[in-house]
Amino acid sequence: MKRILPVLAALLALASQAAAQDWPVRAVRLYVSQAPGTSPDITARYLADRLAKLWGQGVVVENRAGGQNIPGAQAAARAAPDGYSFFYATTAAIVSNPVTFKALPYDPVRDFAPVAMIAKSPMVVAANPSIAAKTLAELVALDKAAPGRLAAANEGARTFSGMMGQLLNQTTGMRLLQVPYNGVAPAIQDTIAGRTQVVLVSSAALLPFLKRGDLRPLAVSAGKRVRGLEDVPTLAETYPGFEYVGWFALFAPTGTPAPIVQKANRDVDKVLNDPEVAQRLFDLGLVNEGAGTPEQLNEFLRAERTRWAKLASDIGLEPE
């Protein structure tokens, strides 16, 4: 019996690898935890179209929006681990929700297998052009001259941009009045209209408004300067260690056969390295460095969990 078990295991592994070679043989579903028309949805649909052409099978985007990404993450976690359901996840769903909620109906570590990094989206500190600040240093000086008079729009106190806004105040000594909105679009529009003077949201969301001159970029949150915004300094240049970026990554429900995870990773990397795709992601304000490997994504996530736990601790955020 002891001799038979290794043989059976080897046969099962060979069968799994053979199945992966033929995969997919039917439509694949991408769960997106954001609403249609948002940056994650736009990029997910673009990627889905490209993968559909590569695979010769449909790739269906299913939006499960709202609730701080929880409904979408929960649906993806409960999907069958058969290689036909994936989660197009955001930073919030995987690493920031665990530090802002006491309990979640899914476990970001146990319920998902990392597949591929899609792209990163640095945060941008931008100002209404009417205010007398063309640099971050000038914004700090302007705020300190009249503490609390400038207002900064964000997506909500317990969202990525809300937490970043609190950290920005703490790091720079500013007292920007943090104004939470229900979503990124109204936060941007109110800053353009002058009801708030500063906004801190993702480069993907801001890029069209920066290009038109509706808003003035002052700093980015990435560790290095961002292509397309090369003239905009990083926060880390003045405040070492201030390096936080949003990102989109592909995950599979835990238990999805490893050969399928590996094939999906290779195919996503092939798509991301297509020059036309790379240019499109760049036009959307995203940083594309290829898919990496599932193992590299797993290591990245370990570092991100530590980073976000520290951020929450630094700003005194208690989970609710």
Q: What is the CATH number of the domain that holds 189?
A: 3.40.190.10
Q: What is the pLDDT of residues 294-313, one digit of tens each?
A: 999 999 999 999 999 999 99
Instruction: Answer with the residue of higher pLDDT: 12 or 299.
Output: 299
Q: Are residues 126 and 233 in the same domain?
A: yes
Q: What is the pLDDT of residues 49-107, one digit of tens each?
A: 999 999 999 999 999 998 889 999 999 999 999 999 999 999 999 999 999 999 999 99
Q: Please report the pLDDT score of residue 66 as a whole number.
A: 86
Inside any domain, residue 17: no
Q: Are residues 44 and 106 in the same domain?
A: yes
For 165, the domain range is 122-238
Q: What is the pLDDT of residues 21-50, one digit of tens each?
A: 899 999 999 999 999 998 899 999 999 999
Q: Which residues of 199-225 are buried (b: 16+ CB within 10 A; e: fewer)?
A: bbbbbbbbbebbeeebbbbbbbbbbeb
Q: Are residues 267 and 298 in the same domain?
A: yes
> Of 187, 221, 238, which residue constitutes the final position of a domain?
238
> Of 219, 238, 257, which residue constitutes the final position of a domain?
238
Q: What is the pLDDT of residues 194-238, one digit of tens each?
A: 999 999 999 989 999 999 999 999 999 998 999 889 999 999 999
Q: Please report the pLDDT score of residue 45 as a whole number.
A: 98
User: What distance in Å separates the CA atoms of residue 220 and residue 149, rounded to the nearest whole number?
Assistant: 23
pLDDT bracket for residue 10 (50, 70, 90):
very low
**Residue 4: pLDDT over 80:** no
**Residue 170: pLDDT over 90:** yes
Across the range 247-274, mean pLDDT stands at: 98
Q: Please report the pLDDT score of residue 1 as a whole number.
A: 59
Q: Please report the pLDDT score of residue 160 as a whole number.
A: 85
Q: What is the CATH number of the domain that holds 275?
A: 3.40.190.150
Q: Are residues 230 and 133 in the same domain?
A: yes
Q: Are residues 255 and 307 in the same domain?
A: yes
Inside any domain, residue 21: no
Q: What is the pLDDT of residues 274-296, one digit of tens each?
A: 999 999 999 998 999 999 999 99
Q: Please report the pLDDT score of residue 2 as a whole number.
A: 58
Q: Please report the pLDDT score of residue 249 as a whole number.
A: 98
Burial of 241 (0-12, 13-18, 19+ CB in 10 A): exposed
Overall domain count for the chain: 2
Which range of 6-10, 51-55, 153-157 scores highest in mean pLDDT? It is 51-55
Inside any domain, residue 3: no
**Residue 11: pLDDT over 50:** no
**Residue 116: pLDDT over 60:** yes
pLDDT bracket for residue 159 (50, 70, 90):
confident
Inside any domain, residue 20: no
Q: Are residues 234 and 249 in the same domain?
A: no
Inside any domain, residue 8: no
Inside any domain, residue 15: no
Inside any domain, residue 320: no
Q: Are residues 86 and 129 in the same domain?
A: no
Q: Are residues 183 and 274 in the same domain?
A: no
Q: What is the pLDDT of residues 137-154, one digit of tens each?
A: 999 999 999 998 999 999
> Of 210, 238, 266, which residue constitutes the final position of a domain?
238
